[in-house]
Amino acid sequence: MSKVRVAAFSVSLDGFGAGLRQDLQHPLGVRGTEAHEWFFQTDVFRKIQGRSGITDAIKQLVESHGGGSRGVDNDMAAQSFENVGAWILGRNMFGPVRGSWKDESWKGWWGTNPPFHTPVFVLTHYARALLPMEGETTFYFVTDGIESALKKAKEAAQGKEVRVGGGVSVIRQYLVAGLIDEMHLAFAPVLLGEGEHLFAGMNFHGLGFAPYKTVMGENAMHVFIRK
């Protein structure tokens, strides 16, 4: 049976997984990128940027952070992609477009060759035709809820793991529903002060989770919890 996990999900020290006011210039919300700097500096991210034709906003992040490190953080990033057979994303993780799809010109932040290389199930309230991309990534737009998306993702994964990529709201919904088996959270040494909070009102112990491994990286502390 496919394990459902969250992997390499960046969180600030005060618990925010994204900033507010997402738009084309702020893919992760205002100041949200500060919690993800550990990832932008890795060789894994550099390779994603190099082959995907990512949007200008993401490209600027790469150029401003250098990238290319191959230490512990890079190992953690690489492991997060291993044995993944399908992804689940929220609408805002796919892009800043809100409401009904006026057209189908927006194809994600990642250019023609997204980094997933698997089926990706995007949760949305508005129907859209499937979107095949280069590199064996196909986006499917799911309008009938998180359980339907997970069922489809498990079928597509064919025994491999399903990775819930975010954002914060989507992860919280799957947590409350008891559908996540394991989480890898990358705590970045930054205080955002505001944004989308991962932990607010959430009783992880009550949900059956306990930490089982902590790994110190160069720019983040990687904490693994599971049921």
3-state secondary structure the chain: CCCEEEEEEEEECCCEEECECCECCECCCECHHHHHHHHHCEHHHHHHHHHHCCCHHHHHHHHHHCCCECCHHHHHHHHHCCCEEEEEEEHHHHCCCCCCCCCCCCCCCCCCCCCCCCEEEEECCCCCCCEECHHHCEEEEECCCHHHHHHHHHHHHCCCEEEEEECHHHHHHHHHCCCCCEEEEEEECCCCCCCEECCCCCCCCCCCCEEEEEEECCCCEEEEEEC
Whether omega before 206 lies within 30 degrees of 0, making that bond cis, reads: no
Is residue 180 classed exposed, middle or buried when 0-12, 13-18 and 19+ CB atoms within 10 A define those classes? buried
Determine the pLDDT at residue 24: 80
Determine the pLDDT at residue 111: 84
Residues linked to residue 213 through DSSP beta bridges, in sequence order: 224
Determine the pLDDT at residue 23: 85
**Residue extents of the structural domains in the chain:** 4-95+111-222
Digit-coded pLDDT (tens) for 124-160:
999 999 999 999 999 999 999 999 999 999 999 999 9
CB 38 within 8 A of CB 179: no
User: Alpha carbon 218 to chain centroid distance?
Assistant: 21
Determine the pLDDT at residue 61: 58
Determine the pLDDT at residue 9: 98
Determine the pLDDT at residue 188: 98
- Fold for the domain defined by 4-95+111-222: Dihydrofolate Reductase, subunit A (3.40.430)
Which residue positions in the chain have pLDDT lower than 50? none
Q: Regarding beta strands 221-226 and 131-132, do their DSSP bridges make them parallel or antiparallel, or are they unpaired?
A: unpaired
